[in-house]
Amino acid sequence: MNIFERIRNSVNMVQVAELYGIDTRRGMINCIFHDDKTPSMKLYDDHYYCFGCGVYGDAVSFAAQVTGLSQYEAAKQLCSALCIVHNSNEPFIKPMIQREQETKAFRILSDYCKMLREWNERYKPSRPDSGPHPLFIESLNNQGEYENYCNIFISGTKEERKNFIENRKDVIEYAGKRLREYYGNSIRGRSYAELSVR
């Protein structure tokens, strides 16, 4: 078991946040990634999610953000602070790849959901006798389904996220394809040129 797996199996997000002096009594905290006036970041057992800016990650990425360290250095610091025994010579590439896949898949799905919400407003029929726009119909057909997929990454278990990535690549690839078709290869500073999570 490598350092990242040991941390995931040994601590939860509340412990990590409290280690850095963050008050977690209300279950939600002010997001550390943007200027958050009211608490919008939820701490789950094995990850965090901000309902304001959409950022998502695990205990190590949270610690890295708070401290300004690399993920590996932040992981070593967590092990030291929380008395987690690990072998620093163990490889840690595989869990990092899995986390990157989860982050990429969630980004694609959540961006597609945002696009569907925009279409629902922008292409809503203005008159009862006007035919619905195809993008409005797509938003009606897909929004609920894709929001459910996003919820797997927001509140699902590690196993549920892994199973989704392994078994529903078609869903992720469809969302990526629609983002590329509508926005082109990049928008809002994000590249949609390659959205595979293989």
CATH number of the domain that residue 31 is part of:
3.90.580.10
Confidence of residue 189 (pLDDT cuts 50, 70, 90): very low
Quote the pLDDT of residue 195: 46
Give me the chain's average pLDDT, please.
83
Quote the pLDDT of residue 75: 87
Quote the pLDDT of residue 130: 78
Of the candidate ranges 57-71, 115-129, 178-192, the one whose mean pLDDT is the lowest:
178-192
pTM above 0.85, yes or no: no
User: Is 102 within a domain?
Assistant: yes
Tell me: do 66 and 106 sit in the same domain.
no
Confidence of residue 93 (pLDDT cuts 50, 70, 90): very low
As given in the structure block, the two tokens for residue 5 are 């797996």
Confidence of residue 112 (pLDDT cuts 50, 70, 90): very high
- Residues 195 and 198: their CA atoms lie apart, in Å, by 9
- What's the DSSP call for residue 90? S
Tell me: do 97 and 183 sit in the same domain.
yes
Q: Is it the case that residue 141 has pLDDT exceeding 90?
A: yes
**Rounded to 5°, angle at Cα 185 from 179 and 191:** 90
Quote the pLDDT of residue 73: 87
Tell me: do 100 and 73 sit in the same domain.
no
Q: Which range of residues forms the domain containing residue 110?
A: 93-191
Distances (CA, A) of 133 to 114, 127, 140, 150: 18, 12, 11, 25
Confidence of residue 83 (pLDDT cuts 50, 70, 90): confident
Tell me: do 73 and 104 sit in the same domain.
no
Of the candidate ranges 51-55, 178-182, 186-190, the one whose mean pLDDT is the lowest:
186-190
Torsion (CA) 157, 161, 167, 172 in degrees, nearest 10: 150
Tell me: do 105 and 128 sit in the same domain.
yes
Tell me: do 119 and 163 sit in the same domain.
yes
Are the C-beta atoms of residues 194 and 108 closer than 8 Å to each other?
no
149 Cβ partners below 8 Å, 6+ apart? 109, 164, 168, 171
User: Is 88 within a domain?
Assistant: no
Tell me: do 131 and 163 sit in the same domain.
yes
Tell me: do 61 and 125 sit in the same domain.
no
Tell me: do 138 and 183 sit in the same domain.
yes
Confidence of residue 136 (pLDDT cuts 50, 70, 90): very high
User: Is 198 within a domain?
Assistant: no
Binning the chain into helix, strand and coil, the percentages to the nearest 5 are: 55, 5, 35
Tell me: do 53 and 128 sit in the same domain.
no
What DSSP element (H or E) covers 14? helix 13-19
Number of independent structural domains in the chain: 2
Are the C-beta atoms of residues 13 and 60 closer than 8 Å to each other?
no
User: Is 134 within a domain?
Assistant: yes
DSSP string covering 46-73, please?
S-EEETTT--EE-HHHHHHHHHT--HHH
Q: Is it the case that residue 89 has pLDDT exceeding 70?
A: no
Q: Which of 57, 81, 105 is the last residue of a domain?
A: 81
Are the C-beta atoms of residues 34 and 52 closer than 8 Å to each other?
yes
Quote the pLDDT of residue 120: 93
Tell me: do 115 and 176 sit in the same domain.
yes
Q: Which of 39, 55, 81 is the last residue of a domain?
A: 81
Tell me: do 97 and 185 sit in the same domain.
yes
User: Is 196 within a domain?
Assistant: no
